[in-house]
Structure 1
């Protein structure tokens, strides 16, 4: 077993196991607002045979006005059970960009109690580049009960982040691109202010990905060190709306940091509120 196999399945392995009854393939694609791409439409046109579509906007807390916030465990169980998924199966998640939204889906299944969740190494781009099959046929799986075991400690809210930063008890690591972190570029949602949470650190998720694939552990550790992150101290990941933050959570786990939290509301929540402080420009 190689190091990556704990978190990733190869395209070759998946091609050999497409028909295994206890393997579920999940298309977790999602695109940023304003990109003129619709993940569900793309899935309907071509997906890996047997894959079901997991819509992070639909499987969410519909009572929360913020985008794709975690649903209550019972709502998650109903949604994925209807897709034919239970917590005992091996779940293989991929997305259309290689490694973008799939880690968010990976993280969600994990904290909801799924026991064996991996990502497709290289995602759909690698699958297509190798000439492997796709289909537009709808995947229908018999419903299954999903027994949740929610890990609430893995999820941070605004109050926990605010208080943790004030007490210097956490390091908040923001996965957004540098121009957005500095407040030099607008947010994808026009009602969200530009800037960052005061005291946060910046490690763009792109720094730990090369050609849609997670870089080696040594490069991950170097990236966190360059960003000023102390791996021995508590870490909370953040981004625009809790999607790219999961890439950093995955990266941390791959280098042995398994107790990090993720700020679900992220900058969309903090920056969307006029009563929360922000910082712009280079760090002092």
Structure 2
């Protein structure tokens, strides 16, 4: 990676050097696809970076919605984080057990809630473990900490806003799903969804933004990936994916190259693919 930035991404070396800082808080935000057959919380209990709290993406969400892990109400976010001992004045580092998969979603969620002092651990738990660094299976000591939330509504988009952007062409809509799902050649993992993509969107598969070891590519390489995908970085960007998790990897990558006018379509394909009145495109365009 190019450099450590406590508001976007930090290295394992940075975390090791700061792990005992009194105002550092570490979050394990591991989340697995429903058909992976893995239990993220159980894996956290068995092995996590010292002091890490478990951030449950499915639980800290809006349970009033039929869609998976939608943005929680502000009050719920505040209360859950306070109970985890995370609040104002803390530098947060978030990681996951797949290298870089679900951690970016929590980074984006903190930013949405007006909490900018959060960074993703580059390479996540796999890199930390591969380097022989300390792990533990003990629950952390937690003290309540007040959190002030100032929701940044411009960072999230709903189906109506995405439909308008698709029709007008005034945003770049960037889809993080695999090329097979984007073109409609592959079935969706969630039953009952149409196949294809939002008309006018571009496919930027999240894996193309990562190195083989799960770390994020350099800002120079990221910019080249966006160029190769035909992305006009002069337009504001809206990211999307299957259910709003890997889309945030694109948001993180955009932030790493200095682009700040980006948002995330929270409902993503779980909503668009089930919505009967919005159009679906297939193929490469």
TM-score of the superposed pair, with normalisation by structure 1 = 0.96
Please say if residues 88 and 145 of structure 2, whose CA atoms lie closer than 8 Å, have aligned partners that are also in contact. Answer: no
Aligned residues: 282
C-alpha distance in 2 between matches for 1:83 and 1:215: 31
Question: What SS class does the counterpart of residue 119 from structure 2 fall into?
Answer: strand
Alignment of 1:165-204 (within 5 A): 165-204=166-205
Residue 176 of structure 2 is aligned to residue 143 of structure 1: no
Q: Which residue of 2 aligns with 1:205?
A: 206
Residue 216 of structure 2 is aligned to residue 214 of structure 1: yes
TM-score of the superposed pair, with normalisation by structure 2 = 0.95
Q: CA deviation at 1:281?
A: 2.2
Q: Which residue of 2 aligns with 1:234?
A: 236
Alignment of 1:125-140 (within 5 A): 125-140=126-141
C-alpha distance in 2 between matches for 1:189 and 1:163: 25
Question: What SS class does the counterpart of residue 261 from structure 1 fall into?
Answer: strand
Q: 2:259 aligns with which of 248, 257, 277?
A: 257
Residue-by-residue CA offset, 1:3-44 (whole Å, 9 max, x unaligned): 343422222232233232200000011111211112111101
Task: Between 184-193 and 149-158, report the one with greater CA deviation.
Answer: 184-193
C-alpha distance in 2 between matches for 1:9 and 1:254: 11
C-alpha distance in 1 between matches for 2:42 and 2:186: 29
Gaps of 5+ in 2: none
Q: CA deviation at 1:233?
A: 1.0
C-alpha distance in 2 between matches for 1:88 and 1:259: 25
Cα RMSD after superposing both structures: 1.3
Q: CA deviation at 1:187?
A: 1.4
Please say if residues 171 and 236 of structure 2, whose CA atoms lie closer than 8 Å, have aligned partners that are also in contact. Answer: yes
Question: What SS class does the counterpart of residue 275 from structure 1 fall into?
Answer: coil
C-alpha distance in 2 between matches for 1:3 and 1:13: 10
Q: Which residue of 2 aligns with 1:62?
A: 63
Please say if residues 3 and 10 of structure 2, whose CA atoms lie closer than 8 Å, have aligned partners that are also in contact. Answer: no
Please say if residues 81 and 143 of structure 1, whose CA atoms lie closer than 8 Å, have aligned partners that are also in contact. Answer: yes
Q: Which residue of 1 aligns with 2:91?
A: 90
C-alpha distance in 2 between matches for 1:95 and 1:114: 19
Please say if residues 98 and 126 of structure 1, whose CA atoms lie closer than 8 Å, have aligned partners that are also in contact. Answer: yes
Residue-by-residue CA offset, 1:58-105 (whole Å, 9 max, x unaligned): 000110110010011111001111100003200010100111100111
Question: What SS class does the counterpart of residue 138 from structure 1 fall into?
Answer: coil
Residue-by-residue CA offset, 1:98-120 (whole Å, 9 max, x unaligned): 11100111111112122311111
Structure 1 residue runs of 4 or more that deviate by more than 4 Å after TM superposition: none
Please say if residues 4 and 11 of structure 2, whose CA atoms lie closer than 8 Å, have aligned partners that are also in contact. Answer: no
Alignment of 1:91-110 (within 5 A): 91-110=92-111
Question: What SS class does the counterpart of residue 3 from structure 1 fall into?
Answer: coil
C-alpha distance in 2 between matches for 1:87 and 1:185: 44
Question: What SS class does the counterpart of residue 231 from structure 1 fall into?
Answer: coil
Q: Which residue of 1 aligns with 2:25?
A: 24
Question: What SS class does the counterpart of residue 113 from structure 1 fall into?
Answer: coil
Please say if residues 28 and 95 of structure 1, whose CA atoms lie closer than 8 Å, have aligned partners that are also in contact. Answer: yes
Cα gap change, 1:3 to 1:10, in 2 (>3 Å) = closer
Residue-by-residue CA offset, 1:108-148 (whole Å, 9 max, x unaligned): 11121223111112110111001111111112311111110
C-alpha distance in 2 between matches for 1:167 and 1:121: 36
